[in-house]
Chains A and B, each alone.
Chain A
Amino acid sequence: MADALDATLDDPRHEDAQLIERLLAGDHTVILRVRGWIGAAIGRYRGRLGADFEDLEQEVVLDLMEALAAARFRRESRLETYVHSYARFKCIDRLRALGRRDMVEIEDEALVHDAPSPLEELTRQENEQLAQRVVAALPRQCQELWAMIADGMSYREMSDATGLSEGAIRVRVHRCRQRALALRDKLRAGEPL
């Protein structure tokens, strides 16, 4: 009897776990279902968001997938409830950000709520040093291309600035990315460059 009750209680969690697995695997049916939950949660803000609504909906789906992949859903509620709350939170956050951005240009909206711990600070410094070594070891063109990306330039603007075609820009940036990550992994492993 107790086992049967336990099984009943576990079923919703089991169902949610399966949904998450299928969602992250790209199951079209589950994706549609989850997007339906998101739409229900933020549909009332469609008018206020205007053209941003579709962008926001996509962002919510992607961010949600990332959160689920990182196991940030602690299963204290049903998945649908979590998705609903998550979507509403993102929506309200976006509305606030839109209100601010209309007044001033905000480049960095990351909010730091707590001061980093000494370990976090040390990690940050190590990452910075690692990044500097990686960048210094890359060809100059890679550094310049990624600096343009960091400045917010589009590939069209970069093509105009460099004289390279848009396709060539994309390919070169991608190769630089591959090189940078390979160098980073080598340095982390303690191997010589």
Chain B
Amino acid sequence: MRTDRACHRTVLALPWLLNGSLEATERREVREHLIACPACRAELVRTREARALFQPAASPAVVAEAPPTPVTGISRPSQSTLRRLSWAAMIGAVLGSSWAIWWIHSQGLKPEVQAYHRSPAHGAAVPVPVRIAAAPMAAPAAVSAEPAGPVSHGAATAGSSAKPALAHRSAASEPAIRSHQGAGRISSIGFESGSLASLTVPAAASRISRFDFEGGQLSGGR
């Protein structure tokens, strides 16, 4: 309905209609009035022109009303988008792990550092924590095996049938990795809650090339 008062209210609200910050109810009221009132539509054009003076990069001919933004100023994804993203994340994790398995097998990985320590009591190798350096995702995942404890090379417990495992904890900090002397290729990779939990490496002479993990995700390697 066109009244002077309605026109006055509408004209005063126009700058905020154009920058998309009017709340939904007011926005719809202003637009309904504009649809019915040619004079206020002319004011809309003038307000666009004024706005362009303060934003010269956007000419009045190009700038339409900004789409309405949520009151919080934060765009929230829709439910359907969240579902799509979660599906995409799951598929990505499956594909990523499958690729990692293929890549590891194709490289014939062997532990670079035979990080084990002969137990003084039993003469059996025990795992030694090593550090994994996290790196941003770029290349195939890699783990750097930096033994944190005593290392003995070559000696001892080759042939142990104990399942050698490279394991790390999926945590924000550098995960620990334990490496047994082993040979051959990684035979299995374990995941927990979507994060890499273990890489199983059969015995002796295997080389671990470099796996980088970030937050439990396979992120780079060589």
Which A residues lie at the B interface, using CB under 8 A? Answer: 24-26, 28, 31, 51, 54-55, 58-59, 61-63, 65-66, 69, 97-99, 101-103, 105, 108, 110, 124, 127-128, 130-132, 134-135, 143, 146-147, 149-150, 152-155, 157, 170-171, 173-174, 176-177, 180-181, 184
Contacts and interface: CB of A to CB of B under 8 A. Distances in A.
B16 A154 contact: yes
Contacts of B69: 152
A21 to B, nearest CB: 11
A4 B59 CA distance: 47
Interface of B: 2, 11-13, 15-16, 19-24, 27-28, 31-32, 34-38, 41, 46-47, 49-56, 58-59, 62-69, 73, 75, 77-78, 81
**A58, A124, A127 pick with most chain B CB within 10 angstroms:** A58
A31 B35 contact: yes
A150 B54 contact: yes
B21 A154 contact: yes
A110 B50 CA distance: 19
B56 A65 contact: no
Nearest to A34: B35
A146 to B, nearest CB: 4
A53 to B, nearest CB: 12
Contacts of A130: 53
SS class of chain A's interface: helix, strand, loop or mixed? Answer: helix
A59 to B, nearest CB: 7
Contacts of A176: 50
A90 to B, nearest CB: 10
Contact of A128 (B2, B56, B68): B56
A110 B58 contact: yes
A135 B35 contact: no
7 contacts: A51-B24, A58-B28, A62-B35, A105-B75, A152-B20, A170-B13, A174-B15
Given A108-B58, A128-B56, A150 B51 contact: yes
Given A55-B27, A131-B53, A177 B46 contact: yes
A181 B67 CA distance: 25
Nearest to B20: A152
B119 to A, nearest CB: 53
Given A58-B32, A152-B21, A184 B53 contact: yes
Nearest to B44: A62
Given A25-B38, A152-B69, 13 more contacts: A26-B2, A31-B36, A55-B68, A59-B31, A62-B31, A102-B75, A103-B81, A135-B54, A150-B51, A152-B20, A154-B16, A154-B22, A181-B50
Contact of B56 (A31, A131, A147, A157): A131
Given A58-B28, A152-B69, A127 B56 contact: yes
